[in-house]
Structure 1
Amino acid sequence: MENILVSIRVRPLNKQEASKGSPWKLTSNTINLTGGPSVSGQTFTFDRVFGTDSKTKDIYDAHTKKIISSTVKGFNGTIFAYGQTSSGKTYTMRGSQEEPGIIPLAIQDVFRNIEAETNREFLLRVSYMEIYNEEIKDLLAPENRKLQVHESAERGIFVAGLREEIVVSPEQVLQLMDAGEAHRHIGETNMNVHSSRSHTIFRMVIESRDRGEGDPSERESLQTSDPVRVSHLNLVDLAGSERVNKTGAEGTRLKEGTHINKSLMTLGNVINKLSEGIERQGGHVPYRDSKLTRILQPALGGNAKTLIICNITPALVHVDETRGTLQFASRANRVTNCAQVNEIMTDAALLKRQKKEIEELRRKLQESPSDHWEEEVLNLRNELLKTELEKERMAMELQESQKAAERRFKEQQQKIANLSTMVINSAVDDRCLDKRKKKGNRRETWCARPGSNPGFDELLGMRNIPRKSLLLLR
């Protein structure tokens, strides 16, 4: 058991903010509210507090580096930035050419750690998604399909149909990120010219297995029963919480801000419940109330090593928002995770599923004269893996389409049933209808037999009503 790590990064004040000063006082691991419109004297303590002159590399080296190293060894890892809009989250995660962010530094370190693991072979694949207005979109797929979250015993919580790309170098990973970034929703508000209008999750799946010893064909045979380590690294850039009176949002921007605030509120509720130990007591934690918390569920009180980098602005005008971020951070710091190495013995691991195909390819290539047959095996293997991933993705898409069609069919059936209950049917017996048809729908008259009811005869006489005018309508 270990607590979620929390670091605070304080962005520098701009010229307008600097003229009004800051009510916050910082040390290496505390931040204290010393004045302002809110109650002063509050002190918050965290794993680290990074001041305005700190570099992203300092933040990375403090905690992120260890988490990245552990993901290569089979542990799940999640790093995400949290804070109000314009507090520097995207800059912290993506960085710039002059100062690389957490994500590019982490990707470089993944490959550096893999090179050091000389006794294991690795397979890496990445995906990139955004949650925009509570809909999941695939940033690596140009069609931007709306995807759904699923859960299975073998795969855990996953996004069905999400495209995954096999990668072999940090340069390839960063190119995919840039391609995905072009599809991300960005907008302008009064507080931020380039405001992120969605949450993004960049995920790397790291599979590895023991290389073994001996010639390649013997190694493949020996590895048949070996477990495969499968870990997930999530690098998350959250959209910032917003106040309409400060952002000036309206129309589309207002709708986006509403969804952003709602999902962040759910994240806060989840963290609050976990910090109070509700889950350990058998209580309900509302992971399913938003797509964000559902996808990140393993990182929040589950099987993962998690770091939250809370970005704040020390400006006096934003003291309430900053205090809210620090309160969230304090609760998150009390949440405990239970991270463990993930080893898979079944065919759920791609590396596991490729053994027979690789052995067959190697046998065929050995039979034909070639000086580079081992290299050709590796190339063919990569092609097989790409095909396998695409088949999986298409199968999940087909399954989703079938489910959607079934839902539409059931909805139509329900509509028909509802409409049927609104139709008024005649209660006349069918036999009566047949009888009417035979008589040509003539009306029938009824009159009491003369003398059978003296009182009735007297009544007719008093009112001068002809007996034949009494009708029985059916």
Structure 2
Amino acid sequence: MEKICVAVRVRPPTPESSSSENGSSLWKVEDNRISLHKSLDTPISTASYAFDHVFDERSTNACVYELLTKDIIHAAVEGFNGTAFAYGQTSSGKTFTMTGFETDPGIIRRSVRDVFERIQMISDREFLIRVSYMEIYNEEINDLLAVENQRLQIHEHLERGVFVAGLKEEIVSDAEQILKLLDSGEVNRHFGETNMNVHSSRSHTIFRMVIESRGKENSSTDAIRVSVLNLVDLAGSERIAKTGAGGVRLTEGKYINKSLMILGNVINKLSESSKLRAHIPYRDSKLTRILQPALGGNAKTCIICTIAPEEHHIEESKGTLQFASRAKRITNCAQINEILTDAALLKRQKLEIEELQMKLQGSHAEVLEQEILKLSNQMLKYELECERLKTQLEEERGKQKEQEQLQFTPAIKRQPTPLTAATTECSHENQKEVEDLKSQIELLTNEKDSLQVKFNEQVFQNNKLMGEISELKEGMLHMKEIPKRLSESVANGKEVYKNVIVTMKTLMAEKEFPTAKLLFGVTGITTSLLSTLESQFSMILDGQKAGSIVDYPFYDQWETLRVSLKNTASSLVSDAQAMNEILNSHDKGQETAAMEEKLKSELSILAERYNELEKELSLDKQLLKASRESHGRLEKEVQFLKEERDSLDVAISQSTQRLRVIASDKENALKDLNVEVKRRKEMEEEIKQISFAFSSRQKSLMSFHNEIKSKMQKLTTQNPKLK
């Protein structure tokens, strides 16, 4: 049993106040006593108070922490629950004492750093720290680390005690991480402006650290220590006449004063004698409900009461000091919070048996020694059974960890819970995970089917595209051959026509050859020309029919040219035959002039046709150039389509392979889960049986232990020398 540590801190006067006026009342601090003085330093006997610590306006936050809070922080690391909170009127320095500034950190920030420094000094234990930050605003609990968690409810559990359901807890590893969380929580806290404070806290805040530790050697006989450290910044009590509050500020002030009044009632009840103490109204306020373990319970607690030195705040300061005086009479029963394992419990009972054996040495209690020997044998069997159970549990935990890794579920460190509850919770979680996996497999199967349909459609389109590409390739090959053949034919025709014209001009100039010879030469030349052109066009037409090539713009022109040449040649042949007949029946000399004139006209016609052929040749060259450019574009498009098809094939192949792997993994995971669920159900039944046997044996052991104690007491009374 130990009393609550209570301290008083006087804040410095504000620049606007003048505490040195004549007739003004002053607070004087002497050692651990604070008293109210009138003018000429005359003390008022009814206004003198003594506390564990009293800090004047020159004291710093470092001094307050070292003398008041540091021991509680160290005790929390050792396994004791701890609480520190500031109480006082508004604008008296509570938030400055608890939070402080960067240049002068308050109790909360210094405690955070001191906890981790203390942990570094303890090398034989490993620690796990969780933090949470909440505020009580208008009797509603809000989570300052998660804005979406509002209006949380308080619950009570046999093992956990009083806790806030839904409150976010962050696992932390260093002090800087906690300080960042504190800064983010301060942003979400409710502040407001009043006539007494431009930055007034409108809510109570509770910063909580849960410290768990166990031995690093993983000894089965070590207990797990779990302590809770609460650092509380209370909103200040206020009078409406001084604060000038209205509207929202007035509502906030009512809730603040109500909760502080209930806190004062709880302090009054706890300060009374236990015989006179009636019902303690913890449940009347959420603040007192949460702080219940710190007020008369299992915790080391310190209270910092802050007062203002100004004359017009004397009544509020007296009320604060009276609250502190009552709180000083409260006693707590703080003890280390340990969760004993089965092996640790066995070890303690074994030590008690050894102590009894030591007491029985030298006595004649042979019957008791035999009973103790029997009890030791039972304990040995019990230890073996516990070892077997422990081995099974370790295997179960290992398999469960592997299963959680397989299911991509992050591991979360939790406080140890009873075996039956843990296995039941795991069973429910596994069942839920099985259902989730089934739904995921069904979705993946549907997605696989849809992708397979798209893949088949893509394959069909690719095959169709490949056929079109092949036809385009063949067409382009024929397109290359047609202009080439036409160009060669035109070139040959051009040379032949040049020879014809030159020959005719030569014959006409010399006038030595007879007309029959001239006509014979022209007929031969024309026939040779037509046969050459006919063979070339036949080859082109055959190539078109074989390759199914579409008609080209210049084909009609070449066809017209062919018909025209053929008609011209036919007319020349017929004229030649007519001229032969005329020559055979008439005088050659008379008809020579007429034939020359006719030949000249024919030559002029051929010259005109030659010029037309040259123009058509130029046009055909332009068409040939355009067809080559079109061919180049088609080749590029074909190459692009081929590359796109190859990339689609690769993507579809990879997607199909991934789907197969995912489906296979999910099926295997589902099978393993079904097997694991079945095995866990069997393990649950076995654990229930073992737990029942363990409970019954423990009861028998305790009854036997009590029997031994009673016999020892009887033996002691009979033989006083054993004392």
TM-score, structure 1 length as denominator? 0.71
Residue equivalent to 2:563: none
Alpha-carbon offset, residue 110 of structure 1: 0.5
Residues 220-369 of structure 1: pairs in structure 2 closer than 5 A: 222-223=219-220, 226-278=222-274, 281=276, 283-345=278-340, 359=398
Residue equivalent to 1:168: 173
| Candidates 36, 49, 52, aligned match of 2:54 | 49
Alpha-carbon offset, residue 35 of structure 1: 3.0
Residues 198-237 of structure 1: pairs in structure 2 closer than 5 A: 198-212=203-217, 219=218, 222-223=219-220, 226-237=222-233
- Counterpart amino acid of 1:108? R
Alpha-carbon offset, residue 32 of structure 1: 0.7
* SS in structure 2 of the partner of residue 309 of structure 1: strand
| Candidates 25, 31, 34, aligned match of 1:31 | 34
Is 1:385 the equivalent of 2:412? yes
Alpha-carbon offset, residue 355 of structure 1: 7.5
- Partners of 1:322 and 1:357 lie apart in 2 by 61
- Counterpart amino acid of 1:94? T
CA contact (8 A) 1:299 1:305 kept: yes
Alpha-carbon offset, residue 362 of structure 1: 8.7
Q: 1:5 to 1:357 in 2, by over 3 A?
A: farther
- Where does structure 2 lack aligned partners over 5 or more consecutive residues? 343-389, 417-421, 426-723
- Counterpart amino acid of 1:57? A
- Partners of 2:320 and 2:143 lie apart in 1 by 29
* SS in structure 2 of the partner of residue 99 of structure 1: coil
- Partners of 2:188 and 2:398 lie apart in 1 by 40
* SS in structure 2 of the partner of residue 317 of structure 1: helix
- Counterpart amino acid of 2:30? T
- Where does structure 1 lack aligned partners over 5 or more consecutive residues? 213-218, 365-375, 396-474
- Partners of 1:387 and 1:341 lie apart in 2 by 19
| Candidates 143, 148, 168, aligned match of 1:143 | 148
- Partners of 1:290 and 1:206 lie apart in 2 by 26
Residues 20-169 of structure 1: pairs in structure 2 closer than 5 A: 20=21, 21-35=24-38, 40-41=44-45, 42-169=47-174
- Partners of 1:271 and 1:357 lie apart in 2 by 49
Alpha-carbon offset, residue 131 of structure 1: 0.3
Residue equivalent to 1:186: 191
Q: 1:84 to 1:31 in 2, by over 3 A?
A: same
Q: 1:72 to 1:17 in 2, by over 3 A?
A: same
- Partners of 1:204 and 1:363 lie apart in 2 by 31
CA contact (8 A) 2:4 2:301 kept: yes
CA contact (8 A) 1:189 1:248 kept: yes
Q: 1:331 to 1:356 in 2, by over 3 A?
A: farther
Residue equivalent to 2:504: none
Alpha-carbon offset, residue 40 of structure 1: 3.3
CA contact (8 A) 2:222 2:341 kept: no
CA contact (8 A) 1:302 1:339 kept: yes
Alpha-carbon offset, residue 149 of structure 1: 1.0
Q: Which has the higher contact order (CA 8 A, sep 6+)?
A: 1
- Counterpart amino acid of 2:83? T
Alpha-carbon offset, residue 190 of structure 1: 0.3
* SS in structure 2 of the partner of residue 205 of structure 1: strand
After superposition, the C-alpha distances for 1:120-170 in whole angstroms (9 at most, x for unaligned) are 010000000000000111111121321111111110111111110000000
* SS in structure 2 of the partner of residue 321 of structure 1: helix
After superposition, the C-alpha distances for 1:97-132 in whole angstroms (9 at most, x for unaligned) are 110100010000100111111110100000000000
CA contact (8 A) 2:89 2:306 kept: yes
- Counterpart amino acid of 1:26? V
- Counterpart amino acid of 1:157? V
CA contact (8 A) 2:269 2:277 kept: no
- Partners of 2:202 and 2:125 lie apart in 1 by 40
After superposition, the C-alpha distances for 1:190-218 in whole angstroms (9 at most, x for unaligned) are 00000000000000000000111xxxxxx
Identity %: 60
Q: 1:346 to 1:153 in 2, by over 3 A?
A: farther
Alpha-carbon offset, residue 356 of structure 1: 7.1
- Counterpart amino acid of 2:16? Q
After superposition, the C-alpha distances for 1:423-456 in whole angstroms (9 at most, x for unaligned) are xxxxxxxxxxxxxxxxxxxxxxxxxxxxxxxxxx
RMSD: 2.8
After superposition, the C-alpha distances for 1:395-450 in whole angstroms (9 at most, x for unaligned) are 9xxxxxxxxxxxxxxxxxxxxxxxxxxxxxxxxxxxxxxxxxxxxxxxxxxxxxxx
Higher helix share: 2
* SS in structure 1 of the partner of residue 188 of structure 2: coil
CA contact (8 A) 2:83 2:230 kept: yes
- Partners of 2:402 and 2:126 lie apart in 1 by 21
CA contact (8 A) 2:25 2:37 kept: no
Residues 420-459 of structure 1: pairs in structure 2 closer than 5 A: none
CA contact (8 A) 2:293 2:299 kept: yes
- Partners of 1:269 and 1:24 lie apart in 2 by 27
- Counterpart amino acid of 2:321? L
* SS in structure 2 of the partner of residue 182 of structure 1: helix
- Counterpart amino acid of 1:8? V
Q: 1:170 to 1:22 in 2, by over 3 A?
A: farther
Residues 394-473 of structure 1: pairs in structure 2 closer than 5 A: none
Is 1:5 the equivalent of 2:5? yes
Q: 1:282 to 1:242 in 2, by over 3 A?
A: closer
* SS in structure 2 of the partner of residue 40 of structure 1: strand
Alpha-carbon offset, residue 360 of structure 1: 5.3
Higher strand share: 1
- Partners of 2:281 and 2:157 lie apart in 1 by 19
TM-score, structure 2 length as denominator? 0.47
Q: 1:10 to 1:83 in 2, by over 3 A?
A: same
* SS in structure 1 of the partner of residue 146 of structure 2: coil
CA contact (8 A) 2:53 2:68 kept: no
Residue equivalent to 2:497: none
- Partners of 1:387 and 1:292 lie apart in 2 by 27
Q: 1:388 to 1:66 in 2, by over 3 A?
A: closer
* SS in structure 1 of the partner of residue 210 of structure 2: strand
- Partners of 2:167 and 2:396 lie apart in 1 by 25
Is 1:195 the equivalent of 2:200? yes
- Counterpart amino acid of 1:25? K
Kindly name which structure, 1 or 2, has the bigger radius of gyration based on alpha carbons: 2
- Counterpart amino acid of 2:14? N
Alpha-carbon offset, residue 282 of structure 1: 5.7
After superposition, the C-alpha distances for 1:324-369 in whole angstroms (9 at most, x for unaligned) are 000000000111001000011379xxxx9x97787559989xxxxx
- Counterpart amino acid of 1:315? E
- Partners of 1:145 and 1:115 lie apart in 2 by 36
Aligned residues: 360
